[in-house]
Amino acid sequence: MQSNSHTEPAIMTVFGAGGDLAQRKLVPALFNLFLDGWLPEQFRIVGLDRTPMDVQAFRQHLREGVDRFSRRGKAKDQDWDRFSSHLAYLVADFADQEAFSLLSDRIAACEKEWGQPADRIFYLATPPTMMELIAQQLHRAGLSDDRERVRIVFEKPFGRDLESACKLNDVLTSFFAETQIYRIDHYLGKETVQNILAFRFANALFEPIWDQRYIDHVQITVAEEVGVGHRGGYYDQAGALRDMIQNHLLQILCLVAMEPPVSFGADEIRNKKVDVLRAIRPIPTKDVMDQFAVRGQYGEGQIDGRHVPAYRHENDVSSTSNTETYAALKLFIDNWRWQNVPFYLRTGKCLPARISEVSVVFRPVPHQSFPKPALEGWETNRLVIQIQPNEGIAMCVQAKRPGLEVRLDSVAMEFCYQEVFQTPSPEAYETLLLDVLQGDATLFMRADQIEAAWSVVTPVLEAWAAKAPVGFPNYPAGSWGPEAADRLLTGDERHWLAPMADVE
């Protein structure tokens, strides 16, 4: 296969390779990179896990994942055979130093066979409790030493509050240099999320009006139709604020609010993003409840005609759980650009649809010259960045409705990725894994970003922990969340906007 790749020979070790993430996301993404010619000719994926199985069983397990979850659907036998010859498996107990010596030998043997050193990537697709142990074991086995060639990739959750995240960062940076550490936020790998940068900084049109003089407020919605599925055990300890807002929604906010970067260097982009997080006005602890933050938990309900059980009846969830499955925040960014412009964020499980979008709502015109009857359908301008499921951008403007009377209506000028480019977008993990292989950390979270994001949500976590919620469950599955979330905006004489995808 023709290679597009400028990547060096690489050995990717996947810890927890027998688990869900490797089967659903990582290997399908690597397989697609392989099909598209992005992987170097010399690459190996070494899976490590506790489950005893031989390499054939391991390959078969991953093939099932590709057939079920790859965006391309079922793999062709000949493609899979060529790809799977690069897959190896080691049964390993991560607490056992011997396993790391074996891994080290395996890597050395591979490099010897290729006659050159390879980039060594260690991917932790394991529960977070394993992070410190594996990093330490790699360090002890001398596998962290080469700062140029060695990279380590962590999945979220990265800590569960500011204190634990700082501690984890301290431990990890005692074994690896910060430049070797890649902390994944898969939202940053989504095409439309990356396109926010292109849209804002490759066009002269928007930047001059992208501030408090013209923008009234911003809404960021990440709605999920699914419940907690088989992840109740993890989720019940996390909740929506930790699971979604601390990372994905705050990262989207950063891209919408950051200052123009001087270059697209990893540190330049990350510096500009961290500036946003640091400028977020601390939420006053005494006013958290309802004025700045709202939490909710789904009760039983209907989605698409299907009965959905209450969160408290999901597997591995406590029947008296007070964990929030919905969270909404109002944030302000204290800088010149965004002074007093509220950013409203909301996310939840078991909402009516899977929709992620950002609405940038502009201020009304300074003087309204049209007569009152003309204005019945009038709305302020709104720019909608649709992240999923429809990837695109829509600008809602006013137009005269055809007819002899003057009546205004809001209409959308839309750009849809699928229609314009007619090529399927890569999955977020394809983008992110290729970046890891190429050593580009732009789309990954630096230690200071993680800590700054935890600082934003910590007052809310503390206030919520100190006071049990009243009236949980407080929204039925299939609704748009608790009423208190509506009041977060109606108190400011605003309302949550119906998502574009819903409106159409």
Q: How far is the CB of 476 from ligand BG6 (least distance, A)?
A: 19
d(C-alpha 292, C-alpha 327), whole Å? 11
Structure tokens that stand for 114 in this block: 């290729």
Nearest residue (CB) to ligand BG6, 121 versus 228: 228
Structure tokens that stand for 467 in this block: 């006071």
Q: How far is the CB of 92 from ligand BG6 (least distance, A)?
A: 26
Residues with Cβ within 8 Å of residue 381, at least 6 apart in sequence: 361, 362, 395, 396, 397, 398
Using Cβ positions, the residue closest to ligand BG6 within the complex turns out to be 243
Chain centroid to Cα 340, Å, comes to 27
Q: Is 248 a catalytic residue?
A: yes
Amino acid, res. 394: A
Are the CB atoms for 253 and 331 separated by under 8 Å?
yes
Q: How far is the CB of 172 from ligand BG6 (least distance, A)?
A: 20
d(C-alpha 439, C-alpha 457), whole Å? 30
- SS3 of residue 10 by DSSP: strand
Q: How far is the CB of 94 from ligand BG6 (least distance, A)?
A: 22
d(C-alpha 264, C-alpha 262), whole Å? 7
User: Residue numbers of the site for ligand BG6 (CB under 6 A)?
Assistant: 224, 243
The three-point CA angle 184-188-190 to 5° equals 120
Alpha carbon dihedral 104, 25, 265, 260, in 10-degree steps, equals -160
Structure tokens that stand for 8 in this block: 């060096």
Nearest residue (CB) to ligand BG6, 381 versus 386: 386
Nearest residue (CB) to ligand BG6, 243 versus 324: 243
Q: How far is the CB of 295 from ligand BG6 (least distance, A)?
A: 16
Nearest residue (CB) to ligand BG6, 100 versus 158: 158
Nearest residue (CB) to ligand BG6, 25 versus 217: 25
Of the candidates 106, 10, 27, the one whose C-alpha atom is nearest the C-alpha of residue 72 is 27
Q: How many CB atoms lie within 10 A of CB 109?
A: 10
- SS3 of residue 128 by DSSP: helix
Q: How far is the CB of 470 from ligand BG6 (least distance, A)?
A: 25
Nearest residue (CB) to ligand BG6, 228 versus 333: 228
d(C-alpha 229, C-alpha 74), whole Å? 24
C-alpha distances in Å from residue 276, one per residue of 50, 214, 232, 243, 331: 42, 19, 33, 20, 11
Q: How far is the CB of 154 from ligand BG6 (least distance, A)?
A: 13
Q: How far is the CB of 321 from ligand BG6 (least distance, A)?
A: 15
d(C-alpha 193, C-alpha 174), whole Å? 32
Are the CB atoms for 50 and 140 separated by under 8 Å?
no
Nearest residue (CB) to ligand BG6, 236 versus 243: 243
Which of 61, 186, 217, 248 is catalytic? The answer is: 248
Structure tokens that stand for 240 in this block: 């929506």
Residues with Cβ within 8 Å of residue 24, at least 6 apart in sequence: 65, 68, 69
Nearest residue (CB) to ligand BG6, 188 versus 383: 188
**Active centre residues (catalytic):** 248
